[in-house]
A and B are shown apart, each in its own frame.
Chain A
Amino acid sequence: MSETEALLAALTVFVLAILCGFAVISKVPATLHTPLMSGANSIHGIVLVGAMFIAVEATTPISQLLSLIAVAFATMNVVGGYVVTDRMLQMFRKKPTAPAPKADQAEG
């Protein structure tokens, strides 16, 4: 595939993904906006894939340092992002039992 074709394909994907992002978000109720922002925040942790690519090719000290920071940063984004979002969403679960008996445990 020529370079121009590759660029056109990448641009097509880019624009369609943007439209997809618009469509998905406009349907979310305001109550879930914070978890959603956090969830979207974890998704851009996909930059870890890019960081891995530069890390395996890092042969100079400067490149090794940059890629180490990049991998650590990106992993923090991924792991922290998903865990904190899960913690938020865990609280939205339907409580089948009366809230009173559960309340005591939550106090601690």
Chain B
Amino acid sequence: MDYDTLFAIVRLVWLAGAALFVLGLMRMNSPATARNGNIQSAIGMAVAVGATAILLLARPNSVSGLTAFNGVGWLIIVVGIAIGGGLGLYTARTVKMTAMPQLVSLFNAVGGGAAALIAIDDYLKLTGVPSPQINVATVLDIVIGSITFTGSLIASGKLMGRIPGKPILIPGGRLVTIGLAAVVLAGALFLWVGNLSVPVMGLILLAALIFGVTMTLPIGGADMPVVISLLNSFTGTAVAMAGFVLNNVVLIIAGALVGASGAILTKLMADAMNRSVLNIMVGGFGGGDSVAGVVGAEGASVRELGVDDAAIQLAYAQHVIVVPGYGLAVAQAQHAVRELAELLESRGVDVKYAIHPVAGRMPGHMNVLLAEANVPYPQLKEMDDINPEFERADVALVIGANDVTNPAARRAGTPVSGMPILDVDHAKSIIVMKRSMGKGYAGIDNELYTNPKTGMLFADAKDGLASLVAAVKAL
């Protein structure tokens, strides 16, 4: 077979790989087919990479411009795949599910980094000013890829707790960020009008790398999911730009697909929190990790509930709805909550879980955590399905959830106004398990806590649930 025929076949294989990506994403619509969809997408990837290897092996020197077989190049590929694959496999298999968002962010960082490196390498090889489309794509790839790289690393660090989750405001930080953006823009324009300059490209690269840091640092930990999703979209775009640089259609398709899907996902997440993406990126509130707070906030009369009282309420109820939130994820109490639910079920109590779209650290994160703890999937109810059921519930048990239960969201004029909430206050009685009266990231008091139907059980989610289990068993 001559090379042109092989190249045509490989391009068809790439197309098939891209089709598998789209079909795989489509199958991720439903829990029943989602795993299959991911495997389908992985097969698409394996096929595309395999075909590339065959194409590169068969490529004659007249096409590649090489003078001889590049053994070092192939060694680089083999060693690089071994290192990257080993690290990826190890971290992905050993990570705790609660720590998974930061790992996704890390994988996103290296993806963006790889896309930027491709353009950097391409730029260093240039001998003359490239065609306008290559010039534009190269600069965009380097800029977007670098911002994603450092931005995702910071986001990951914040979720890991290595970098404080609260917004870090550097004096004049916003000016620095604007200044860096100006440097990037000016440098890009200088290159686009037809200049070839490695130092200017180096300056753009450096400014973009720092921009990624200064852009992400002032954003609070609670907003990180939206930021990670946005950066995921950025990486997709950077990869598509790398596709334009290398004139490779599979990179363009897959990159654009992820760029678009990431953008939609980002908007959905921000909508669920009643924030605009712009609002989040500009920064402001969003402390997230704040656990400080004094028990019994001023002016509000709160009814405190003992563990034994709570246990009796739960054990003799018919319908219980558990509302898990961020606090449950932080305390890693998902196994404890499943244990309590099973105990209650063995006593004939009907238990369901109300999952707010942004419960946990990412949309759907709570479902993953509860599924990992072997909570049967049919018990997990989405907000719109469970809200009418609160009226029939004898007890709503709120564990570490705050703003998503605040009835103030139904009124205008509060920071949470308009945010979709769980109608916890419609339940006949409410037990709120929380470490303190500390505020959620919206920074306002939760009117649910001062509701006469509400009893507050001040405890860490894991310890509190363990003592609840013990108390129910003792009944």
Given A69-B117, A76-B84, residue A34 in contact with residue B73 (CB < 8 A): no
For the complex formed, measure the closest distance between the CB of A23 and the CB atoms of chain B, giving whole angstroms.
9
For the complex formed, measure the closest distance between the CB of A3 and the CB atoms of chain B, giving whole angstroms.
6
Q: Are A59 and B25 in contact (CB under 8 A)?
A: no
Number of A interface residues in the complex (CB < 8 A):
88
Q: Are B262 and A37 in contact (CB under 8 A)?
A: yes
Q: For A19, A50, A77, which residue has the most chain B Cβ atoms within 10 angstroms?
A: A50
Q: Are A84 and B363 in contact (CB under 8 A)?
A: no
Q: Could you tell me which residues of chain B, from 27 to 75, have a CB within 8 Å of some CB in chain A?
A: 28-32, 34-35, 37-39, 41-42, 45, 48-49, 52-53, 56, 59, 64-66, 70, 72-74
Q: Are A3 and B88 in contact (CB under 8 A)?
A: no
Q: Interface residues of A: mostly helix, strand, loop or mixed?
A: helix
Interface string of B14-33 (1 = CB under 8 A from A): 10011001101110111110
Give CA–CA (A6, B357) in the complex, Å: 43
Q: Could you tell me which residues of chain B, from 102 to 121, have a CB within 8 Å of some CB in chain A?
A: 103-104, 107-108, 110-111, 113-115, 117-118, 120-121
Q: Are B117 and A44 in contact (CB under 8 A)?
A: no
Residues of B with C-beta under 8 A to A85: 38
Q: Are B80 and A6 in contact (CB under 8 A)?
A: no
Residues of B with C-beta under 8 A to A79: 84-85, 88-89, 92
CB < 8 Å A-B pair total: 401
Q: Are B120 and A57 in contact (CB under 8 A)?
A: no
Residues of A with C-beta under 8 A to B127: none
Given A17-B253, A34-B363, A80-B88, residue A49 in contact with residue B52 (CB < 8 A): yes
Interface size class of B (residues with CB under 8 A): 35 or more
Given A62-B124, A89-B35, residue A52 in contact with residue B25 (CB < 8 A): no
Q: Interface residues of B: mostly helix, strand, loop or mixed?
A: helix
Interface string of A90-103 (1 = CB under 8 A from B): 11111100011011
**Which residue in A32, A34, A49, A76 is a CB contact (below 8 Å) of B107?**
A76
Residues of A with C-beta under 8 A to B39: 86
Q: Could you tell me which residues of chain B, from 315 to 344, have a CB within 8 Å of some CB in chain A?
A: 335, 338-339, 342
**Which residue in A7, A26, A69, A88 is a CB contact (below 8 Å) of B133?**
A7
Residues of B with C-beta under 8 A to A55: 73-74, 76-77, 80
A-B contact pairs, 12 of them (CB 8 A): A17-B256, A24-B25, A24-B26, A31-B31, A31-B380, A48-B49, A56-B64, A66-B120, A74-B114, A75-B88, A80-B92, A84-B104
Q: Which 5 A-B pairs have the closest CB atoms?
A: A21-B260, A71-B80, A80-B88, A75-B84, A17-B256
